[in-house]
């Protein structure tokens, strides 16, 4: 209770407003590490006004960030191979008019299937993938950006997740505008944030877009209802963009095939907070448990067979991926039919 009281009192005394981002910072919340004396305090003020701030390192294009990009791509490669294998099987089943349920059963029996990796692999949209970062890869923010996180969250700042955000070139379309979680209460200071580390040059493509000041929108205001100032931080490798968990944002389309975009993402929050929406078992593989579950009929957790629960998670992931990939699979089949002159009929979705 004491923690909530501190948050509410701080919010009232601060009087933050999204309009301050425009009036004070000209909608350019960017700080430079070379200004060692002032950048942390200025960056915190920008963040509180705008809901997001970019930190530009003293040495843009740093080799450490580029080396991290290579490590992330190396970690992602086996899962992307599994993804390609499952997509090929799905397309072949569609061409041969096979039951996708039967294919799903085969995949569940295959320990090398992507379906067994749902705790590390989550596909938010077709071609927009969220991967767990291994313990062998850097688990902390580079440069001095960690100082800004501590300035914003205090000594209670806790690393909740280290992730790889991958947008596949030629596949990922413009993402919908969204928050990463629904605000717990309106008009309280930051209690969780994302730190996006640029591990490649994003000056010309791939920079996430943010709606400045949207961290102060009330919970009832849906991200699609209005637009304020949209900002994408087109910066070189080594930059860090720190965003309030409530700030509305989206990933841009990556239209060029093979031009994949990697981001390292570190999720921080106060010690009492956790993201139960995106990183719990209910979101295994990116396929969330339906919200309209009849809780009166749900068996107690202690009575659920763990193996059966894992199997149900994988089935949800299978159908979740089928739904996310459907349009892309049909388009790819059309291209293959045109190039190879297949005589194939795709089963309508209602018949699957």
C-alpha span between 259 and 275 (Å, rounded) = 30
Strand 261-269 to strand 240-244: parallel, antiparallel, or no bridges (unpaired)?
unpaired
Q: Which two tokens stand for residue 271?
A: 């010690």
Which residue's structure tokens are 């080799």?
63
Q: Is 127 helix (H, G, I), strand (E, B) or coil?
A: coil
What count of other Cβ atoms lies within 10 Å of the Cβ of residue 131? 21
100-120 burial by CB neighbour count: b if 16+ within 10 A, else e? beebbeebbeeeebbbbbbeb
Contact 183, 128 (CB under 8 A): no
In the chain, how long is the greatest CA-to-CA distance? 69
pLDDT at 81: 95
Which H or E run contains 280? none
Residues in a beta bridge with 198: 263
Per-residue model confidence as pLDDT tens digits over 289-345: 544 334 343 344 445 577 788 888 889 899 999 999 999 999 888 888 887 655 555
Q: Which residues of the chain carry a pLDDT beneath 50?
A: 1-17, 290-302, 346-347, 349-352
Contact 217, 77 (CB under 8 A): no
Which domains can be identified in the chain, with CATH numbers? 51-85+124-286 (2.60.120.620)
pLDDT at 6: 31
CA-CA-CA-CA torsion for 146, 151, 154, 156, nearest 10 degrees? -10
CA-CA-CA-CA torsion for 222, 223, 225, 229, nearest 10 degrees? 150
pLDDT at 279: 80
pLDDT at 119: 87
E runs forming strands in 127-235: 128-132, 158-167, 192-198, 209-211, 230-232
Q: 235: which DSSP letter?
A: -
pTM: 0.84
Q: 303: which DSSP letter?
A: G
Contact 39, 32 (CB under 8 A): yes
C-alpha span between 343 and 77 (Å, rounded) = 33
Per-residue model confidence as pLDDT tens digits over 186-224: 778 999 999 999 999 999 999 999 999 888 888 777 666
Rounded to the nearest 5°, which phi and psi values hold at 261? -115, 125
pLDDT at 27: 77
Which residue's structure tokens are 């080396």?
67
C-alpha span between 256 and 279 (Å, rounded) = 30
pLDDT at 167: 95
pLDDT at 146: 86
pLDDT at 197: 92
218-251 burial by CB neighbour count: b if 16+ within 10 A, else e? eeeeebeeeebeebbbebbbbbbbbbbbbbbbbb
């Amino acid at each position: 209770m004491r923690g909530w009281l501190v948050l509410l009192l701080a919010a009232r005394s601060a009087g933050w407003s999204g309009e301050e981002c425009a009036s004070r910072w000209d909608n350019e919340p960017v700080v430079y590490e070379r200004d060692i004396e002032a950048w942390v305090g200025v960056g915190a003020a920008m963040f509180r006004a705008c809901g997001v701030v970019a930190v530009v390192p003293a040495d843009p294009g740093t080799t450490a960030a580029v080396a991290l990009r290579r490590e992330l791509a190396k970690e992602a490669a086996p899962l992307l191979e599994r993804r390609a294998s499952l997509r090929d099987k799905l397309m072949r089943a569609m061409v041969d008019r096979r039951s996708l349920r039967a294919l799903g059963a085969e995949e569940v029996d295959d320990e090398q299937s992507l379906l067994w990796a749902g705790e590390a692999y989550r596909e938010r949209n077709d071609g927009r993938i969220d991967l767990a970062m291994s313990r062998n890869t850097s688990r902390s923010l580079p440069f001095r950006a960690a100082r800004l996180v501590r300035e914003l969250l205090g000594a209670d700042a806790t690393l909740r997740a280290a992730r790889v955000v991958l947008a596949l070139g030629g596949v990922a379309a413009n993402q919908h505008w969204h928050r990463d979680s629904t605000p717990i209460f309106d008009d309280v200071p930051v209690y969780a944030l994302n730190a996006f580390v640029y591990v490649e040059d994003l000056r010309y493509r791939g920079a996430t877009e943010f709606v400045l000041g949207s961290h102060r929108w009330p919970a009832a205001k849906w991200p699609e209802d209005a637009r304020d100032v949209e900002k994408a931080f087109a910066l070189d490798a080594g930059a860090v963009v720190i965003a309030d968990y409530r700030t509305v944002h989206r990933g841009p389309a990556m239209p060029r095939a093979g031009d994949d975009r990697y981001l390292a993402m570190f999720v921080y929050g106060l010690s009492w907070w956790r993201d139960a929406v995106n990183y719990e078992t209910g979101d295994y593989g990116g396929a969330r448990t339906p919200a309209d579950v009849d809780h009166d009929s749900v068996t107690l957790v202690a009575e659920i067979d763990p193996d059966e629960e894992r199997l149900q998670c994988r089935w949800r992931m299978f159908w979740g991926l089928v739904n996310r990939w459907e349009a892309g699979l049909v388009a790819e089949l059309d291209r293959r039919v045109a190039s190879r002159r297949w005589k194939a009929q795709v089963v309508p979705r209602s018949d699957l």
